[in-house]
Amino acid sequence: MKLTYIYHSGFAIEAENVTIIIDYYKDSSETAPNQGVVHDELLHRPGKIYVLSSHFHPDHFNRDILAWKEQRPDIHYILSKDILQSHRASKDDGTYIDKPEVYEDDTLRIQAFGSTDAGISFLIELEGMKIFHAGDLNNWHWMEESTEQEVRKAEGDFLAEVKFLQQTAPAIDLVMFPVDSRLGKDYFRGAKQFVEQIKTSIFVPMHFGEDYAGGNAFRSTAQAHGCKFINITHRGEKFEIK
């Protein structure tokens, strides 16, 4: 299995005859909007192709993905229901799910879990592996800007969602989770709480934009909790997942 970092929270998973693209925002090219690993490679890859979007925010959902069906009429769109509710897409554009609904076919299983912002997170079961993409699930505490009450509420909401996930998946093979230094002090608190509660084999940072150093700063903490850490250095970077 292969994991490709596209940009921000966008990733692709390649397995035998299956491609999954998650939270596409921009392609991996830094200069041309329709060039990069998605347009130049993945949309031409044989086999089934699934496109997932966790919520309607523009850094997680780009309406351009809906035009890909002109090139790949066999494409499967699995989208958060808030994308439909916010009129970013129409009913016929895809399959819409919300917590705790499931999409399942003879290739994979996708269960929607909660978020502490908009939309959902995804638990994907593929080729015997459990894969989690957090979407905007995080402990969004904004420690230096929020009141003590707001911080407590954010943390309580986050831990409740993690507990709900833990009941279904106490151990996950591959986790993509926000590590966003814009939160300020203690910005990877949510990521640390996640790996403390759920046994994570491989941890991948996301939602860091161009701040690679900030995303990769979680490496030592992840490793201290028994995770293999994927260090991302550029758009379009590929990793073998075993």
Tell me the whole-structure pTM to 2 decimals: 0.94
**Strand-strand pairing, 109-113 and 2-7:** unpaired
Which residue has 């993690």 as its token pair? 162
- Number of structural domains in the chain: 1
Q: What's the CATH code of the domain at 38?
A: 3.60.15.10
- In angstroms, rounded to a whole number, what is the distance separating the alpha carbons of residues 139 and 191? 8
- In angstroms, rounded to a whole number, what is the distance separating the alpha carbons of residues 121 and 107? 20
Mutual orientation of helices 189-197 and 148-168 as an angle, nearest 10°? 30
Report which of 173, 162, 234, 226 is spatially closest to residue 197, judged by C-alpha positions.
Answer: 162
**Average pLDDT of the chain to the nearest whole number:** 93
Per-residue pLDDT, averaged over 88-108, amounts to 95
* pLDDT value at residue 145: 67
Q: Show the CA angle centred on residue 187, arms to residues 130 and 184, nearest 5°.
A: 150
* pLDDT value at residue 142: 64
- In angstroms, rounded to a whole number, what is the distance separating the alpha carbons of residues 85 and 144? 33
* pLDDT value at residue 121: 97
Per-residue pLDDT for 182 more than 80?
Answer: yes
Domain boundaries, position 56: 2-240
* pLDDT value at residue 144: 64
pLDDT tens, residue by residue, 3-42: 999 999 999 999 999 999 999 999 999 888 789 999 999 9
pLDDT tens, residue by residue, 123-175: 999 999 999 999 999 998 766 666 778 778 888 999 999 999 999 999 999 99
